[in-house]
Structures are given as structure tokens and as C-alpha cells.
Amino acid sequence: MPHLNSFYQDYRKLLRLYNDGAIFTAFDTETTGLSPSDNRILEIGAIKFNKDGIIDNWNQLFNPQCLIPQFITNLTNISQEMVTSCLTIDNYLNDFISFTDNTVLIGHNAQFDLNFIYEECLRTNCKYFSNKVIDTLRMSRWAYPTLGHWKLNYLAEKMNINPGNMHRALDDAITCKEVFLHILDDTKSIQK
């Protein structure tokens, strides 16, 4: 079942939203696979910010209560040993949801992450959030239609953004934030 959030569609109004002092939370998840119903979240990372800078960050590894496939360990550098002693996501999900209160969520391919969080909320009887969402994947396709590639690491390289440890949730959330700010700056002339 898909998440219930609404996405910003008119990217030309985002600079005004930003300049008016809105608070944003860029976030990312790392998971044991691609299916929200069959796989689990390993890590959530988030960075809360506004026009004045970073407000706070949130990062947590979780025990998925299943084996982490080797290709996921190779991609994320999150090993079974790293999460064995961690608590499960149900111990932290309410805290993460509270962290995002009254903020606009920003994710790269946000549908993927939101579907995973939604499934975890269903499994754990946690109240799901209803924040509005900006998807930097969609936004980058709008801003740079001829680019041809819009993956987060590709955008970071093109924008000279240091991506930190790619495929780690907090670093990807920070990169997502920087991509968002870069697009806002690049599209100032067409912002309403």
C-alpha cells in the first residue's frame, strides 16, 4: 500500500517557501532490499534545516530481524554485525516521526523511502506522518531536463557536492539537502 503524503508539483514556488522560513527535513533510508512489504529498513538518516542553516540531524541503525543480503552490505557497508546489537525500528519510529513534525520532507526518489516507512508504521502500529514532500529526483528532472541522468551520486558529482559515504542514510540525506539548495539557486530566475 502506498504512502499518503502529497508531493509539491509546482517547483517554481519553492524558493518563496524557503525564503519565508519553512523548515525542511531531508531524509533517506537504507533497506535490506527493494520491496517494502518483503524487506526492512536498516537505517534512517535525516537533516532538519531552514534558510538560516542546519537545525538538527537524526540518524539510527536498526536490527532488521533478518539477514542482510551481501549485495546490500557491499552497497551500504552496513553489515550484519553492525546491526545485531541494535534495537528494532519500532523502538525509534515514533521518535523519527516526531523529528519531522511541522517540516517539509525532502527525499531523492522519495516514493521509495516513504513506502518503506509507511510499511514499517503499519507493522508497528506507529502513526504515519502526513508531511508535504519534495522529491529531488522529480525536481532535478524539471530543472535539468537534458541531463539524462538524475541519480543522487551523479547530481552530486555534477554539482561539485561532496556526497560523503554514498548509500549511508545521513550522508545521502545531507547530499539530498545540498542538491535541493543547488536546484533552488539554479532556478532563481524562474521562481515565483
Q: CATH number of the domain that 86 lies in?
A: 3.30.420.10
Instruction: Given the residues 3, 108, 149, 167, select the one marked as catalytic.
Output: 167
Mean pLDDT of the 28-49 span? 98
Across the chain, mean pLDDT equals 96
Q: Is 35 a member of any domain?
A: yes
Placement of cell 539477514 in the chain: 67
Q: Is 100 a member of any domain?
A: yes
Percent of the chain topping pLDDT 70 = 97
> Edge to edge, what strands does the sheet with 104-107 contain?
53-61, 41-50, 24-31, 104-107, 133-135
Q: Is the per-residue pLDDT at 45 higher than 70?
A: yes
pLDDT band at 184, cuts 50/70/90? very high
- For residue 151, CA distances in Å to 26, 50, 107, 140 come to 16, 24, 12, 9
pLDDT reported for residue 2 = 58
Q: Is 20 a member of any domain?
A: yes
Q: Is 1 a member of any domain?
A: no
Q: Is the per-residue pLDDT at 3 higher than 80?
A: no
Q: Is 104 a member of any domain?
A: yes
Q: How many domains does the chain have?
A: 1
End-to-end CA, the chain: 35
Between 2 and 151, the higher pLDDT residue: 151
Q: Is 23 a member of any domain?
A: yes
Distance, CA of 90 to CA of 2 (rounded, Å): 19
Domain containing residue 135: 6-190
Mean pLDDT of the 29-35 span? 98
Q: Is 111 a member of any domain?
A: yes
Q: Is 53 a member of any domain?
A: yes
Q: Is 108 a catalytic residue?
A: no
Mean pLDDT of the 50-67 span? 98
